[in-house]
Copies of this chain bind each other. A is one copy, B any other.
Amino acid sequence: MTVKSNSSSGVVDTSSSPFAKLIALAFKEVHLKDGFWAAWRATTRREAIPYGQQKLIDSGAISNLEVAAGRRDGAFRNMRFADSDLYKWLEAASYELANSWDDELASRVTACVELAAEAQRSDGYLNTYYQLTNTQLANIEKRWTDLRHDHELYCAGHMFQAAVAHFRCTADTRFLDISKRFADHIDETFGPGKLESVPGHPEIEMALVELYRSTGEKRYLDLARFFIDYRGRGLIGGSPYHQDHCPVREAREMAGHAVRQLYLTSGMTDLYLETGESALLETLNRLWSDMTTEKMSITGGVGARHDRESFGESYELPNDRVYNETCAQIASVMWNWRMLLATGECRFADLMEWTLYNGVISGISLDGKSYFYPNPLVSRGTIERSGWFDCACCPPNVMRTLASLHNYFATKDANGLQIHLYDNCEIETSLPEGGEVRMVLETDYPWNPDVKLTVKAAAETGKKSEWTLSMRIPGWSSHPRIVVNGAEYSGELAPGSYAEIRRVWRTGDTVDLTFSMSPIFHEAHPYVEPARGCVALTRGPLVYCLEECDQESGGKVMDCGIDTDTPPQNQWREDQLGGVMTLDAKGFHESRENWQGKLYRRVEAGKAPSRTNVTLKAIPYYAWANRGKYPMSVWIPRA
């Protein structure tokens, strides 16, 4: 079999979306070269995806499908949404087939698709939990009867996303056909005047819009709109947990179950991209401001509460018990990517990048085989990643994100090309005004700020080939500088916006972008109580932390303080944690001897604890918990 791919599509295909400001590039148009993200994708491919398949076999997700297909006997195993774990894995594997074809992986994927085809009922329905279970509450006759708690439409959404990815990456239509039959069945079942209800766990909304994009079937878009419009009418109980507490356009704040909320906002953004409904975009902007100014950890982590896996109140951002589910951070990336496509605004790319570097890859170990579900900002030495979870939503979600990550690097529009993320890569696409263009980015990002872009091929047809190259100047950066073909660029260069370089681009042209990547001490809004009097250290797009195993002479992380007047020094450590830039900061260890046996004491003047000056060693937050269970902290008290 030869590889074919749908050349016009990426993860979110806005190539025909009338209200998209930016068009996502196709998978094949961005090629990662050796570098930070290529290493992560290689780990995903080499370790995580085979490991994940074995876990899906062990957990019963694949055997459920085999039983439903009539290939073997057995009972339903695992959580009722086990199908979705498999679909997310299939989505990840599909991306990897586009990244680099492999017959063995392809045959594994195909085997699953064939299983799904056999398991699908003649009416198009496919959900192994309802097909295999036969209790009073759950059996095939009871399908679609408990939309609040069950995950049939959620699993369907993950099927559609996987099928769309499979189609776009392989041009094979079999999985897409299965999805269309299921979507048709859902469309026959749900809608105004039919079954008027919505899923307790959003996901299908964005999936249906993508299915519409890949099939052209407008009914799927209408169905997505139906599921969005009918939410908040109390049809599934009215709780924030199930995202049913208010009509979506009236929402004033991010609330309830974080992944549900963010999958919903992602679906709403997909709907906006097709319909251009201003009320939707206004709501989305309002919710984004609420999230980013009151409900987000400095890592980009969202969904602060363990309790119901939900957003907390404004400024409710603990260090120890912050939930920050890996899936919520992934959902935030998905939403920010869609907002970026909808608006072209740099702030969405900024947060997408920040969340990828800090909130997403913290969820997976460096070896690709263990995972965090919550991502706390402090550890007292009791926390480690797990090999898998009973509720295994996060691991395959990380896999599909990393396998498709290059897709978020660049976009195009009528004026030219936009570069959002930086790493060693080659971008090759066709621009409306510029024709075929190919360029190479060379950088040591995220460790060093210099990015060199070289145009390798450009259609030089005079006026027509003048186009705009937009390069993102990260919001966290300072002192940006661009040199084009050796000459200082004199256009506007503001952190948090795109430098727009318009010219006739020729083969051999070069752009050198740089900016300051000096370590920065951040403070949190005073309402964030556990960060009061503390700073967090960042450098470039990376949040840093102190892990106890790195500290001098057994110094305890919880006894450290930091001197913010002395700039930390960065040092490349090739041998540590897969190669990381560490930061050495001036600080101290504070004695706790006066606290022996006390939890509270009266304040007494002149009782300053004794301090020992030390050099604090900070590592990127994403890399913690890879060497054992050590105390760790992101927020460090200031001297």
User: CB within 8 Å of B: which residues of A?
Assistant: 289, 292-294, 296, 298, 305-307, 312-316, 318-321, 378, 380, 382, 520-530, 532-536, 558-559, 564-565, 590, 592, 595, 597-603, 605, 635, 637-638
Contact = CB atoms under 8 A, between A and B. Distances in A.
A638 B595 CA distance: 19
Contacts of A530: 318, 529-530, 532
A315 B600 contact: no
Given A293-B598, A380-B313, A603 B523 contact: yes
A565 B605 CA distance: 8
Nearest to A533: B533
A526 B590 contact: yes
29 contacts: A292-B599, A293-B597, A293-B598, A305-B321, A307-B307, A307-B321, A313-B382, A315-B380, A316-B320, A318-B529, A320-B529, A520-B602, A521-B603, A522-B600, A522-B602, A522-B603, A523-B600, A523-B602, A523-B603, A524-B600, A525-B595, A525-B598, A526-B592, A526-B637, A529-B529, A530-B530, A532-B532, A533-B533, A536-B600
A290 to B, nearest CB: 11
Contact of A523 (B533, B536, B558, B601): B601
Contacts of A527: 558
A559 to B, nearest CB: 8
B590 A535 contact: no
Contacts of A318: 318, 320-321, 529-530
Nearest to A377: B529
A307 B320 CA distance: 13
A600 B531 CA distance: 10
Given A307-B307, A522-B602, A603-B638, 13 more contacts: A298-B600, A305-B306, A305-B321, A306-B307, A312-B321, A313-B380, A318-B318, A520-B603, A521-B603, A524-B599, A526-B590, A526-B637, A530-B530
A454 to B, nearest CB: 33
Given A313-B320, A316-B321, A558-B526, A294 B599 contact: yes
Contacts of A558: 526-527
Contacts of A637: 526, 532
Nearest to A561: B526
A202 to B, nearest CB: 24
Contacts of A595: 525-526
B313 A528 contact: no
Contact of A525 (B532, B536, B599, B638): B599
A542 to B, nearest CB: 14
Contacts of A533: 532-533
A525 B530 CA distance: 13
Nearest to A319: B529
7 smallest beta-carbon distances between A and B, as pairs: A533-B533, A529-B530, A521-B603, A306-B307, A530-B530, A522-B600, A520-B602
A599 B529 contact: no
A380 B314 contact: yes
Contacts of A638: 603
B534 A532 contact: yes
Nearest to A316: B320
Contacts of A319: 529
Given A320-B313, A530-B529, A296 B599 contact: yes
A605 B638 CA distance: 13
Contacts of A382: 313
A605 B567 CA distance: 13
A475 to B, nearest CB: 11
A277 to B, nearest CB: 26
